[in-house]
Chains A and B, each alone.
Chain A
Amino acid sequence: TQLLEQSPQFLSIQEGENLTVYCNSSSVFSSLQWYRQEPGEGPVLLVTVVTGGEVKKLKRLTFQFGDARKDSSLHITAAQPGDTGLYLCAPRMTGGTSYGKLTFGQGTILTVHP
């Protein structure tokens, strides 16, 4: 059973601040996806990281996959109120009997105050 931990669970910051959220596990993954979920909506895919050590940027968001492919981080620069939401990581596995199901972490609830 994979143990997936996201931290922090809650993050409340002022507009313009930087922040980093983490997704850690004891398992090795073939890839990892980050989703954002806003209140009253379903999760929306932000990025998929595949290679150990990979860094991807999406405007002010920087995603990194750990060298060992067991962890990932999401860094937001100069956060804005529109970044408010629940950030979820979903490690992906290949092989076995997985048919694409997503296993989400608990998520980090980010609130950016104007």
Chain B
Amino acid sequence: EPEVTQTPSHQVTQMGQEVILRCVPISNHLYFYWYRQILGQKVEFLVSFYNNEISEKSEIFDDQFSVERPDGSNFTLKIRSTKLEDSAMYFCASGQETSGRTDTQYFGPGTRLTVL
């Protein structure tokens, strides 16, 4: 069964460093998402991406964040200058449609980012 994959599973970085989190969505999906989950808190939407551009982004997704689909398979989240509060699980998700009502998003296993 196709699945969303994410690498690395755990990333440790120093504050101020840049990190790139990588995702390989399901191959025939067109809509891509990043979410994050700070330890003990709820899963929060960061950004959605369709047709090579951002469709929607949350207040969390400030200028330090960027997303890219550099080729036909990868979808990346870059954090330019990490802060301590960026420590969280980052989940990538993909879907075939976005009716906003009954569409299904498939989540990857997540990347645990630890900023020291």
Contacts and interface: CB of A to CB of B under 8 A. Distances in A.
Interface in B35-51: 35, 41-45, 48, 50
A45 B95 CA distance: 12
A88 B93 CA distance: 16
A102 B98 contact: no
A30 B101 contact: yes
Interface string A92-105: 11110111111111
A114 interface: no
B42 A102 contact: no
B85 interface: no
Given A31-B102, A42-B93, A93-B100, A104 B43 contact: yes
Chain A contact patch, size range = 20 to 34
B100 A94 contact: yes
Given A31-B101, A48-B102, A100 B48 contact: yes
Interface string A66-107: 000000000000000000000010001111011111111111
Interface in B42-70: 42-45, 48, 50, 55-56, 58
